[in-house]
Structure 1
């Protein structure tokens, strides 16, 4: 699990927050790859070891799809190109104008 690293002196808080979010996404990606890789490896080992026809269904696919949607959502929240539509950014701009 990732934790937010405290802001060092002489660092831009906005850029530091972006850097923390990107590191958290990369940790999430590595976790996804590791766990899903192990699930597929387990599936393949069980497939080779079993002669039962029910073992042929690719059950790790459910994990890949479910977690993949979460990972895609995380990616879009961290690396989105257009921040003008970000609700937090809009609220921040409203507060600055007051």
Structure 2
């Protein structure tokens, strides 16, 4: 989000938003799917399918907010800080199950 707000040209957007943002999203996606698979080994496909759907639906409010509301730099900066805090907070809650789960 910070690159989206402050990149002066398209190459900065490409590197910052697409590459770094995509890498971060993939790391979050991998952590969530692997943790879900270890907690629910008996029906892993159903649980991971539900999780990946929720992961995709999570982007819908952002897209709608960007389409409806006028976007300014301060709003994107605030959103970047809130998003980072939310991802870090949720990441602290991820834990693998105990052995022999």
Q: TM-score, normalised by structure 1?
A: 0.42
Please tell me whether Structure 1 or Structure 2 has the larger radius of gyration of its CA atoms: 1
Return the structure number with greater relative CO, CA threshold 8 A, min gap 6: 2
Flag the structure with higher helix content: 2
Q: TM-score, normalised by structure 2?
A: 0.41
